[in-house]
Structure 1
Amino acid sequence: MNIPDLKTEFDKLRPSYMRLAENVKAALIQFLNEQNLDFVEIETRVKEFDSFVSKIERKGYKEPLVEITDICGLRIINYYPSDLKSIEEILKNEFDLIESSNKEEEMEDDRFGYRSFHFIATIKEEWLNAPNYRGLKNLKFEIQARTILMHGWAAISHKLSYKHERDVPKNLDVTCLG
């Protein structure tokens, strides 16, 4: 698909992804409150077209509107690591999970770095009749769940990863830890 055609398709879908983000956020707030799970914040974002194209170029997607699963992203930032398992259970029960990963398990044992739980999901079929969810069938979204300390480290490491290697102080360079 050429860029102008891709932009046309993306622009048609983006409002649905915006609606998806806001409605899933509202549902997550309700689910967490029902379980008496304290949280700091639930962030949402829908990719901008430039970011979408950049990801296509980096990853070499052939069908990006199907293959890219994080056009809509949500992040649950909570206080305690012990609550992450409860959040995972909520997500398993309330959404159709396509995949999940624990970024900590993907790290080598001698490394300190990015930690977060990632889930790719869609809305359950029974939700699609409700006005807020009509037209959102098969739209995938990513939910990340992490503690506020994991979030702080992710923000720092993201900032550092965009600096040139020689600009990163040796004591903060996660590639040399271990």
Structure 2
Amino acid sequence: MDKQMVMEWAKMLMSYKFALDEVSTKLTILNEELQFIQNYNPIEHVKTRIKSPEGIVEKLQRKGLEVSKENAAEHIRDIAGVRVICSFTTDVYRVYDMIRSQGDVEVIEVKDYIKDPKPNGYQSLHLIIRIPIFLSERTEHVKVEIQIRTIAMDFWASLEHKIYYQFHDDMPASIREQLKATADMIGMLDRRMLVLKDEVQKFSDGAETVKLQQFPMLPASK
């Protein structure tokens, strides 16, 4: 690449960095608002990453496309990535609802691998959104991939990723089967934790009712 082309690619990736900043800020605000209003935060933590120029070039070549920033912006949707880790599966969909309700967020695509896991057992909710970023001389609309999953799903996916790259495309069938079985256990664990959460909430609601009965509202003064 010549110096001019390097600058053009750097400017493009800077826009994706700003888009990640926008999404991260939105998620922080929503999480802190719920913490303040409901004393509950659905988001455990957020990770962000931008695909490297080498990774972008490799993916364009794999797709049989000319290497250009125009093709990258048009055909590669995961240049900017956000991973949102939640406690429970209900939190995953709650965060999704909060994201899509934002007036300046356009949801382009949704892939629900929680309701319909991949054949290897992978579970996560994937979104492709488009979000505006306001620069000094223009407004750009940038695509961002958002993956939303539970702590247990993220644990499995992280280990599966390491194992997959150790074997590349030649993973033994026995290991594939064990990974799938483990993914099924992860799904069962998430469901059991959700039931436990609901049980705890019932006790909390009951305790709050007792408090209200002990301290009834005083009649309004005339």
The TM-score normalised by the length of structure 2 is 0.64
Identity among equivalent positions (%) equals 27
- Measure how far apart 1:87 and its partner are: 1.0
Q: How many residues align?
A: 169
Choose 1 or 2 for highest CA Rg.
2
Tell me the amino acid that sits aligned with residue 15 of structure 2. S
The yes-or-no answer on 1:173 pairing with 2:183 is no
Q: Cα deviation per residue 1:71-110 (whole Å; 9 max; x = unaligned)?
A: 11111011111111111101110121111111244546xx
User: In structure 2, do the counterparts of structure 1 residues 88 and 8 end up closer, same or farther at CA, with 3 Å as the change threshold?
Assistant: same
Other-structure match for 2:198 = none
Which piece of structure 1 moves more, 67-76 or 33-42?
A: 33-42
Question: What's the secondary structure of 1:145's corresponding residue?
Answer: strand
User: In structure 2, do the counterparts of structure 1 residues 138 and 152 end up closer, same or farther at CA, with 3 Å as the change threshold?
Assistant: same
Other-structure match for 1:121 = 129
- Measure how far apart 1:7 and its partner are: 4.8
Question: What's the secondary structure of 1:141's corresponding residue?
Answer: strand
Determine which structure has greater relative contact order: mean sequence separation of CA pairs < 8 Å that are 6+ residues apart, divided by chain length. Answer: 1
* CA–CA separation in structure 2 for the residues paired with 1:52 and 1:134: 26
Which piece of structure 1 moves more, 37-46 or 74-83?
A: 37-46
Q: Provide structure 1 residue ranges, at least 5 long, that are not aligned to the other structure.
A: none
User: In structure 2, do the counterparts of structure 1 residues 141 and 165 end up closer, same or farther at CA, with 3 Å as the change threshold?
Assistant: closer
* CA–CA separation in structure 1 for the residues paired with 2:173 and 2:77: 35
- Measure how far apart 1:39 and its partner are: 2.1
User: In structure 2, do the counterparts of structure 1 residues 47 and 73 end up closer, same or farther at CA, with 3 Å as the change threshold?
Assistant: same
Other-structure match for 1:56 = 60
Other-structure match for 2:150 = 147
Task: Tell whether the 8 Å contact from 1:20 to 1:136 is kept in structure 2 after alignment.
Answer: no
- Measure how far apart 1:24 and its partner are: 1.4
What do you get for the CA RMSD once the two structures are aligned?
3.0
Tell me the amino acid that sits aligned with residue 100 of structure 1. V
Other-structure match for 1:103 = 113
The yes-or-no answer on 1:85 pairing with 2:89 is no
Question: What's the secondary structure of 1:43's corresponding residue?
Answer: strand
Tell me the amino acid that sits aligned with residue 93 of structure 2. K
The TM-score normalised by the length of structure 1 is 0.78
* CA–CA separation in structure 2 for the residues paired with 1:159 and 1:115: 16
Other-structure match for 2:13 = 14
* CA–CA separation in structure 1 for the residues paired with 2:72 and 2:169: 34
User: In structure 2, do the counterparts of structure 1 residues 134 and 158 end up closer, same or farther at CA, with 3 Å as the change threshold?
Assistant: farther
- Measure how far apart 1:19 and its partner are: 1.7
Instruction: Select the residue among 46, 49, 60 that pairs with 2:50.
Output: 46
User: In structure 2, do the counterparts of structure 1 residues 7 and 113 end up closer, same or farther at CA, with 3 Å as the change threshold?
Assistant: farther
Q: Which has the higher helix share?
A: 2
Tell me the amino acid that sits aligned with residue 151 of structure 2. I
* CA–CA separation in structure 2 for the residues paired with 1:33 and 1:66: 34
